[in-house]
Amino acid sequence: MPGDDSASCLGSTGLDIDPVVPGRPSRQFVPPETRLRRRIRILLDVASLLAVVTGLVICLRARSNARFGPLLGPVIPVGRLLLSADYRRRVEAAVFRTWGQVQQFSRGQGPIPWLAAVAFVSLPFFLLDLAHRGSLGTFDTRPVIPTAASLVREGNWDLSEFDQARPRSLLRDSDGQFHYCFQEVGGRIVSTFPPGMVPFALAVVAPAYHCGADLDYEKTLQYLEKVTAALVASLSLGLFFLTAARLGSPTAAGMVTLFLATGSGVLTTVGLGMWQHGGVLTSLSAVLLVEFSARSSADWRGLLVQGFALGQMPACRPTAGLLVALFCLWVLVRSPRRGLLLGMLALLALTPWIAFYELVYQSHLGPATINTNVSAKLWSFFRIWPTLGTLVSPGRGLFVYQPWAILAVVTGIAWPRLRTRTHLTAGPPGWVAFAGLASVLHVVLISAWWDWPGGYSWGSRLLTDILPLLGLLALPPVALMLESRVGRGLLVGLALAGLFVHLPCLLWDAHRWNFLPDRDFWSWANAPFLYHPPN
């Protein structure tokens, strides 16, 4: 029949056309070259994913090429961007779509744009932080990674296995005495510092152990410390960006996040070693994100997150208890019921740490009691020179190593006018007062400490805990300055100034300035960022 001949002819062409069957929709014709492109695209996507996994394995194995492992991930996507116009269009569309979610979130609409924080902030910082050789680990940070390794391999906090590992100097000096960061309590060798950073280290050490990393080799431990520090810093930056964006200006939030990432203690203290400030910074940023983005004060999930995060902060640094108390007081003033619940949840989250202190250190204060940091003789409040030193000295000054922080002072002085001119009306009531008061009191607390310079460190290390608060306070002036060419130029200048004082620590280990016998925290001619150690 003619109908049969017609069907036979169509079938002989080899074209992808289905015969019309009543009740079934016909398939649209797809040219062979389009099908081929689609298969190639899928293969490249799979290859990109495999490159990411391979790079992470190389990174966690911690061999000589480890720091280049994460850079495998972007190789295929970058090549596709250069060679494929279609891929560029897809990426461009994805970027605009993701940024649109940030803009929507800044207006109080839509969910938290986690993908934007990872893609625009956390992932780039993590890759760049691992790509260079800079590190800032010292005896203060040394016990963290070995403690995580002991938990992974033996399920305990006892570091005795490292007393015989190579090299023996990991725990002891040349005279056979423990370095000041280790001590023996009840037959166990443990850290003399609070253990709050150990859970962060476990997230890196556990997979590294299963990838075959040599956890008895000191250089492996040092490298894994750098990886963990980069992870903590990138996480805290992502959380801060989301919080800042919620105030109503995503562009200003991006600018302030850039300040933190390139010109603050996040780049050096948090991103180069397992200092306890990293845990405080990350937990505080998480608490602020929930507070700024919550649509209802009755959101029990957000309350649980905040309570848990607040409970972890004193386990990292006992002085963070001041920030915890002030935050709970701020919430209590606005909502007594919620404030009481939050305080109870924070105490509940801290309870396992207290129990651990009793078990290991035989004291509910843990290492803080053992190394006598709670002695009243070590504190002296309202001294002029230490206060000025923490703020403006070339060796440790807050405004020297975070020059953009002067904008936070501007907000504290002129907030009513800034709120009117920038239309930044979002954020919980009283957030400026809370951030300002907490920052001031933290400066007072650190200035009262006998060792306000913070020992072997870089810049204003002991003030790192309040960087998220200072960043939020700096956002209104930044939003206003972005509206003019002169203002944008000043912001670029502040960003470059902040980068200038931190780059020497990354590129040529200028933190060795701390070894100088005649170091002077007040000398501009011999400031740490001008020091170049001899080879």
The CA distance from 307 to 327, in Å, is 11
Dihedral, 238, 243, 248, 250 alpha carbons, nearest 10:
-10
* Rounded CA separation 280/305 (Å): 14
Nearest to 108 by CA among 262, 282, 279, 247: 247
Neighbours of 425 (CB within 10 A): 9
The residue among 227, 317, 327 whose CA lies nearest residue 285 is 327
Please report, for residues 101, 143, 199, 218, 317, the alpha-carbon distance to residue 61 in angstroms, rounded to integers and kept in the order given: 36, 20, 20, 14, 30
Residue 287 contacts residue 434 (beta carbons within 8 Å): no
H runs (alpha helix) in 29-119? 32-61, 75-83, 85-106, 114-117
Q: How far apart are CA 470 and CA 285, in angstroms?
A: 12
Kindly report the backbone phi and psi dihedral angles of residue 182, in degrees, each rounded to the nearest multiple of 5, phi listed first: -125, 150
Is there a contact between 193 and 276 (Cβ–Cβ < 8 Å)? yes
The DSSP code for 269 is I
CA angle 252, 253, 255 (to 5 degrees): 65
Q: What is residue 5's predicted lDDT score, i.e. its pLDDT?
A: 46
Residues 256, 285: contact at Cβ < 8 Å?
no
Q: pLDDT tier at 456 (50, 70, 90 boundaries)?
A: very high
Name residues whose C-beta falls within 8 Å of residue 78's C-beta, 6 or more positions apart in sequence: none
- ∠ CA 108-435-387, rounded to 5°: 160
Average pLDDT over residues 372-394: 87
Task: Provide the mean pLDDT of the chain.
Answer: 91
Q: Peptide bond before 167: cis, by omega within 30 degrees of 0? A: yes
Tokens 């000041």 -> residue: 180
Whether 526 has a pLDDT exceeding 90, the answer reads yes
Over the stretch 99-117, which tens digit does the pLDDT of each residue have?
999 999 999 899 999 999 9
Asked whether residue 63 carries a pLDDT value surpassing 70, the answer given is yes
The Cα-based distances of 289 to 39, 237, 245, 506 in angstroms read 41, 12, 10, 30
Dist CA 141 CA 192 (whole Å): 10
Residues in CB range of 26: below 8 A, 6 or more apart: 17, 18, 20
* pLDDT value of residue 362: 87
Q: What is the pTM (predicted TM-score) of this model?
A: 0.92
d(CA 415, CA 472): 12
Residue 6: CA count within 13 A, CB half-sphere: 5
Helix axis angle, 321-334 relative to 336-360, nearest 10°? Answer: 160
Confidence tier at 3 by pLDDT (50, 70, 90):
very low
Question: What is the arithmetic mean of pLDDT over 301-312?
Answer: 96
For the chain, the farthest-separated pair of C-alpha atoms sits apart, in whole angstroms, at: 108
Do the beta carbons of residue 506 and residue 132 sit within 8 Å? yes
Nearest to residue 266, comparing CAs of 118, 129, 116, 391? 129
User: Can you give the length of the chain in residues?
Assistant: 535
Q: What is the pLDDT of residues 195-252, one digit of tens each?
A: 999 999 999 999 999 999 999 999 999 999 999 999 999 999 999 999 999 998 999 9
